[in-house]
Amino acid sequence: MLKLSILACMALSTCSAPLMAQTVEAPRCGSREAVLSHVVDNFAEVRQSRMMTSGNNLLEIYANEETGTWSALVSDPQGQTCFVEHGDYYEQVEQPKSRGDL
């Protein structure tokens, strides 16, 4: 069981690095309002994309195109929102015009 917990922790990158590289401590999970407030107020990140997961959760990417910081958030249908990953060097890429441009 401990081995499984360690593997899960490593897969989510929650063991080896602080949650927010930007140095402001973030709530890992909380109300949608509280987590979004942290992202917007501390890092001026705005939503870049959103999608529904196979588990009926909302996955969103927030980023600040000027500083390059980004956060991935997952919200469940009950309104609980969690940081799942974050980082630096966000870059918006152009959509390919054809499959050959991938």
Please, what is the average pLDDT of the chain?
A: 79
The one-character DSSP state at 1 is -
Residue spans per domain, the chain:
19-91
Cβ neighbour number for residue 82 with a 10 Å cutoff: 16
Structural contact between residues 80 and 8, judged by C-beta atoms closer than 8 angstroms: no
pLDDT in tens, 84-95: 999 999 998 888
Q: Is the pTM of this model over 0.85?
A: no
Q: How far is CA 23 from the centre of its chain?
A: 15
Q: Tell me the two tokens of residue 90.
A: 């966000």
Q: Which residue has the tokens 């992202």?
A: 39
Structural contact between residues 45 and 92, judged by C-beta atoms closer than 8 angstroms: no
CA–CA separation, 86 and 20 (whole Å): 6
What are the CA-CA distances from residue 89 to residues 37, 69, 82 (Å)? 21, 6, 21
> Given this model, what pLDDT does residue 98 score?
76
pLDDT in tens, 43-80: 999 999 999 999 999 999 999 999 999 999 999 999 99
